[in-house]
Structure formats: C-alpha cells, structure tokens
Amino acid sequence: MTATLILEQALNGLQFGLMLFLLAAGLTLVFGIMDMINLAHGSLYMVGAYLTAAAAQASGSFLAGLAAGIAGTALFGIALEVTILRRLYQRDHLSQVLGTFAILLMCNEAVRMIWGAQPILLNPPAALAGPVELWPGFQYPAYRLLIIAVGLAVAALLYLLVVRTRIGMRVRAGASNREMALAMGSDIRRLFTLVFGVGAALCAVAGGLLGPLVAVQVGMGENILILAFVVIVIGGIGSIRGALVASLLVGLVDTVGRTFVPVALGGLLGPSAASGAGPALASILIYVLMAVVLFWKPQGLFPARG
C-alpha cells in the first residue's frame, strides 16, 4: 500500500462523489420542495447516457453528443413532470413510489425498444484518452480529471444559482417551508418544473460523463439511484450543501473501501477469505456510514428544514 495508490483512490472517490452529487442535487430538491419520492430519477441518468452516446455516434463529437444529451434529457424531464408527475404531488408516498416505479419500468422498455438490449459504446474524446503526469512518478487518466473539473464547476454554478439569485431564494424557501412560500406568493408549480428540468439536466451530465467509464445499458440508473437516496438521507433532505458533502463522503468511502478492505482482510484472514468477504463487506460501508450519521443526526448533516 503506497502513497500513490492512496492518492489515486482518493481522486477516484472524488470523481465518483461529484457525479453522485449531480444526481442527488436534483433529487433532494424535488424531495425537499414537493415532498415527492421520485424513483424515476435514475431513468433520467440512463436516458442522458443513451442520448449522449447516440448523438456522439451520429455527430462524431463527444462534446456535441454531451450537449445534445443534456438538452434532450432536460426537455424529457420537463415533459415528464408536466404530463405525469404533477398528478402525483398530492398523493401519498406509496402512490408516488408505485407511479414513479412504473415510469422507471416504461423508460427501461422504451430504451430497449429504441436501442436494443445490448450495451452501446460511448468513447471519451481522443485527446483525453491517455494519462496525465501530475508530478514525476504519478499519472492519472486525463478523462477522469475532466470529470472532476466539470463536477466542481457544476457544483460551484449550482451553489451560485441557489444562494445568490432570486430563483435560488425561492428554491430555498420552498425547501425549508413550502406552505409559507406558497402563502408569500411563490409559484411553486412553475418553480418545481424548473427544478425538475435542472435536475434532469444534471442527471444527463452525470450519465454522459460516466458513459465512457461504465456500460451504457438498460437499467443502469437503478443502482446509482439507491446511492443517490443514501446521499440525500445523509446530507439532509432539501439541502444542496448537504448533498455535496454527503456525495463526497459516500464516493470516498465506497471507492477507498472497495480497494483497501479486501487488502486488509487478506492480511488478517488470508487471500481466500478476503476474496469472498472483502467485496461484500466493502459494499456495505456506505450503509454503515448512513446508520452512523442518522444515529448522530437523525435529520442528516445539513437539513434544509428546521
């Protein structure tokens, strides 16, 4: 175990955490403002990845494909909110879970009918295909550095939007006290459509950027959706700051744990035991983290309400 390996895994965790933040930011605002559980949020991540891959193959440009994927997913998200999800706002959480789960299944089947059941290829830009030497003796993939830079830039822009603009003030008011925001004249319906469109666009950014690193395939949004819910529970429902901090924590714990837990178990129990128990134990670390945070702060690290 060397310092280079530790630093490499820390950067991997930072990259993964920032992509989780892009997913969790829209989800936590939707949950915080409208008190709606949206299981179809992971489908927007999948749709963004597929649209990016299809547009990149058609245009021959990854950047053009990513822009098309973001725009297409934002429009799809807005259309989904206006036509279907608005009818679920006043329903109970069980109805919301069942309704959005049905949307998730329909999105999976629609993607399967359009693009087929086999994963499709999304290549990173050729200029970023190789590693970059950050300092003598340490190289890191250039494309992963791009993901980190984009994630940090989007997080900063989202912070400025939420904290420094009038729209952001209305978003924070709706997340902290929805009834009072309505009483003060805020158009929550229009605000929620805007928030949902921004959240869909953020999902597309995450899906398009992670597409070259993971398989662009049907159902790719389900597993990462679970992690996004873990993030908003840890960070505090409705809190952008909480989503960012929790995303970084989950990304680092998940990435570092999957690398070092099997190594530690191998030294204690032997290679055969570590090969079986190591990955399983590493995969539950984020849920242990969630349990610890909820025991310490039941409302999350930075709750928007209260």
Three-state helix/strand/coil letters over the chain: CCHHHHHHHHHHHHHHHHHHHHHHHHHHHHHHHHCCCCCCHHHHHHHHHHHHHHHHHHHCCHHHHHHHHHHHHHHHHHHHHHHCHHHHCCCCHHHHHHHHHHHHHHHHHHHHHHHCCCCECCCCCHHHCCEEEEECCEEEEHHHHHHHHHHHHHHHHHHHHHHHCHHHHHHHHHHHCHHHHHHCCCCHHHHHHHHHHHHHHHHHHHHHHHCCCCCECCCHHHHHHHHHHHHHHHHCCCCHHHHHHHHHHHHHHHHHHHHHHHHHHHHHHCHHHHHHHHHHHHHCHHHHHHHHHHHHCCCCCCCCCC
pLDDT in 10s for each residue of the chain, 306 residues: 577 778 888 888 899 899 899 888 878 877 776 678 888 888 999 999 999 999 999 998 899 999 999 999 999 999 998 998 888 877 888 888 999 999 999 999 999 999 988 889 888 888 888 888 877 778 888 999 999 999 899 888 888 887 788 777 777 666 666 666 666 666 677 777 888 888 899 999 999 999 888 888 998 888 888 888 899 989 888 788 888 999 999 988 888 877 777 767 666 666 666 666 666 777 788 888 899 999 988 888 887 654
Give me the residue label for tokens 């319906």: 189
- Whole-model pTM: value is 0.88
